[in-house]
């Protein structure tokens, strides 16, 4: 079943087209790795799907309904959750208070404080600490947990390893594996190509706002993805 369909989407920052005629579909339970160099349009694409950035053209269809003009908070209630680059926690609140704020917009589902703490056992021991006093890895796990508290059907993850020490990245991905193994539908933006490919069913590579390569992860070689990443290959879909 197609959960998300992006159709000829265009998104701009002023006169700059950050996303140019992007189209793809994502089946329920699929994990998509969205890769590309800095400035390729990945973050803008995620923000547009989440409703945080208004598109200039095109459509976003979620669970069969057109949500292109739907506000971000209504998309959360429909089942779309974004973990933004930089985490953006309320640093003056405790870890647990950050999680509980997200619960106010939650759909019915399996995610609550207990299940989030089970998936991310490290932050369970930090629940009463101010978010601003947490390490980068703890903040990232809290940000993912906050998104899960809304019980999303589609989880958008933007640069989950950015700025983290290797040991923190390992911890975040270990916890993320528990989420993914539960059948979550995920779009993951990740600079670490090896990490991205380890969790993805399919891959889209963007360059200058456009999709330049897409296909099942198992059919795309690392070399071919790297070539597309740097604009050395304009290949289209995998064959």
Mean pLDDT of 28-47: 95
134-156 as b/e: b if 16+ CB within 10 A: bebbbbbbbbbbbbbbbbbbbbb
Which residue, among 171, 192, 163, 184, has the nearest Cα to 32 in the 3D structure?
184
Is the CATH number 3.90.1170.50 carried by domain 2-237? Answer: no
pTM reported for the whole predicted model: 0.90
Mean pLDDT of 19-39: 96
Mean pLDDT of 96-116: 89
* Rama region for 42: left / alpha / beta (φ>0; ψ in -120 to 50; rest): alpha
Q: What CA–CA distance (Å, rounded) separates 198 from 196? A: 5
Provide CB contacts within 8 A for 152, sequence distance 6+.
Answer: 76, 79, 80, 81, 107, 184
The per-residue pLDDT for 35 is 95
The residue ranges of every structural domain in the chain are 2-237
User: Is residue 69 predicted with pLDDT exceeding 70?
Assistant: yes
Helices (H) and strands (E) in the chain, counts: 9, 11
Q: How confident is the model at residue 233 (pLDDT cuts 50, 70, 90)?
A: low
User: Is residue 238 predicted with pLDDT exceeding 60?
Assistant: no
Q: What is the pLDDT of residues 193-228, one digit of tens each?
A: 888 888 899 999 999 999 999 999 999 999 999 999
User: Is residue 230 predicted with pLDDT exceeding 50?
Assistant: yes
Arithmetic mean of pLDDT over the chain: 91
Which residue, among 217, 222, 223, has the nearest Cα to 204 in the 3D structure?
217
């Amino acid at each position: 079943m197609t959960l998300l369909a992006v159709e000829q989407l265009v998104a701009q920052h002023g006169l700059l087209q950050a996303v140019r005629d992007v189209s793809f579909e994502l089946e329920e339970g699929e994990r998509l790795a969205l890769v590309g160099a800095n400035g390729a349009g990945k973050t803008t694409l995620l923000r547009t799907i989440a409703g945080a950035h208004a598109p200039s053209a095109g459509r976003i269809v979620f669970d069969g309904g057109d949500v292109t003009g739907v506000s971000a908070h209504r998309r959360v209630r429909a089942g779309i959750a974004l973990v933004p680059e930089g985490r953006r926690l309320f640093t003056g609140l405790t870890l647990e208070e950050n999680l509980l704020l997200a619960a106010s917009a939650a759909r019915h589902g399996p995610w609550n404080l207990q299940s989030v703490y089970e998936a991310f056992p490290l932050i369970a021991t930090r629940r009463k600490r101010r978010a601003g006093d947490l390490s980068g890895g703890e903040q990232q796990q809290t940000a993912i947990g906050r998104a899960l508290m809304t019980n999303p059907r589609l989880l958008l993850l933007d640069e989950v390893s950015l700025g983290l020490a290797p040991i923190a990245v390992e911890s975040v991905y270990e916890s993320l594996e528990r989420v993914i193994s539960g059948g979550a539908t995920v779009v993951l933006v990740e600079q670490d190509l090896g990490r991205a490919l380890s969790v993805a069913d399919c891959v889209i590579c963007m360059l200058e706002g456009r999709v330049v390569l897409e296909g099942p992860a198992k059919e795309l070689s690392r070399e071919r993805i790297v070539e597309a990443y740097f604009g050395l290959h304009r290949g289209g879909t995998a064959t």
